[in-house]
Amino acid sequence: MRKIDRIIVHASATKPDQNITAKNIERWHVEDNGWRAIGYHYVIRRDGTLEKGRDIHEAGAHALGYNANSIGVCLVGGVDKFNSPEQNYTANQYYTLKKLLDVLCVTFPDADIIGHNDVSDKACPVFNVGEWWNGCQKP
């Protein structure tokens, strides 16, 4: 198993009315970027449904320079109708994110839980994950 030292939260940079799936993101990553698979390990849809992406035993393709030792979690949304950054996630998405992070932080207790914007000059995921995250709760 890889040593995991970060769990990185992302946005898909899609509009609120785009209820995309992990399969949609995988198609973009493969067809548009030439990657072999989806870059994220998990995707949380607008209704809160958790979908698996890349196997967590494999390095992701979601945060340049941090993929080898991290897990990528993507929230669907993150931009407004004009493609400007917007924190527009649903209550169901935040609920699922909290539950997933609770499991991951027990599984990987030494991992920091951060936003993509903590390791990149991007707005993604359009909120401060460190301020939002209130610590690991056993599931």
Domain boundaries, the chain: 6-130
Q: Do residues 10 and 41 touch, judged by C-beta distance below 8 A?
A: no
CA separation for the pair 105, 119 (Å, rounded): 19
Tens of pLDDT, residue by residue, the chain (139 residues)? 789 999 999 999 999 999 999 999 999 999 888 889 999 999 999 999 999 999 999 999 999 999 999 999 999 999 999 999 999 999 999 999 999 999 999 999 999 999 999 999 999 999 999 999 988 876 6
Beta bridge mates, 9: 73, 115
Residue 17 Cα to chain centre, angstroms: 19
CATH topology of domain 6-130: Lysozyme-like (3.40.80)
Alpha-helix residue ranges (DSSP H) falling in the chain:
22-31, 91-107, 129-132
pLDDT of amino acid 34: 84
pLDDT at residue number 5: 96
Residues with active-site annotation: 10, 40, 116, 122, 124
Q: How far is Cα 44 from Cα 1, in angstroms, rounded to an integer?
A: 24
* Reported pTM: 0.95
**pLDDT, position 32:** 83
